[in-house]
Amino acid sequence: MSLPPHSAAQSSQSNPKLPPPAISAETAARLLAFRDARRWAPKHNPKDLAASIVIEAAELLEVFQWSGDDLECRDKHEQMEDELADVFAYALLLADRIGASPDQILLKKLEKLEKKYPAEVCRRDPLLETYETLKTAERTRREMLEDPQLQRVLGFLDFLHEHSVGAWTSASDGRVFFVAYDRAAVNFWQAVEDWTSHFPAKMLENALPENFAARPSAKDIAELSFAGAAALLKKIVREERIHDGAFLSAAESGVLKCVLERLQSLAEP
């Protein structure tokens, strides 16, 4: 059977009214019956089925070999279908082997992807740069979560629950006022500097929402992304260099605690 030219082909991309492509229960049952009739099921362990998916996907890619700038390869659609069918078959067999529902695992994955690549962000810039930026951000997030310095940072929450970070004091007969900080607070500043230094600089520069409040509420902080919370924490620490007592104010107002709790919640598996 020959396929229609690409310009006449129908898909959910060219015709939004079409339902998304799916595999019927009848087709899936026929695939399993095909396997069982040949007594192949005992040999279908997850490792070999996963390897088969990769091999068949490579054969699908081979259809495009030497095609140069031709990204469609319209004259090879039948070969694409044949190789794609092999990929689908092994994917379904693996799902059956591990007791997974293809529909449910795809829905679960989509929920993760919708959070990972927000539509409003992608709509702003339809180019691939947006995808790469978001992908880099996710990779950085995972790396930062595994950084031992993060535990030093989050460990400061226990100190906040029991102690004050410092107190105002004076010198020179009351003519000079400054905050005497607890050594734990000073160590915390260094932990924050060490941890945030591992982030790509531009990521933290653009992490806080536009017009983010100078004195954010708990609700504002609860809506921050992982990078946004890290950026705010870095900002809190660095403001102490500009205004003596800024860190004490952030701690006493509860802002510091909210930021650390937001980071902690995002760090939980």
**Residue range(s) in the chain whose domain bears CATH number 1.10.287.1080:** 6-116
CA count, 13 A, side-chain hemisphere, 138:
13
Which residues make Cβ contacts (< 8 Å) with residue 246, sequence separation at least 6? Answer: 236, 239, 240
Q: Are 155 and 141 in contact (CB under 8 A)?
A: no
CA count, 13 A, side-chain hemisphere, 72:
6
CA count, 13 A, side-chain hemisphere, 112:
8
Tokens of 172: 């020179």
Average pLDDT, whole number, for the chain? 84
Domain with residues 6-116, CATH architecture: Orthogonal Bundle (1.10)
pLDDT digits (tens, 9 = 90+) for 29-50: 999 999 999 999 999 999 999 9
Tokens of 199: 């982030």
Q: Report how far apart, in Å, the C-alpha atoms of 119 and of each of 57, 116, 241 are.
A: 28, 9, 38
What is the pTM for the complete model shown? 0.53
Q: How confident is the model at residue 173 (pLDDT cuts 50, 70, 90)?
A: confident
pLDDT digits (tens, 9 = 90+) for 183-195: 999 999 999 999 8
Q: Judge whether residue 176 has pLDDT over 70.
A: yes
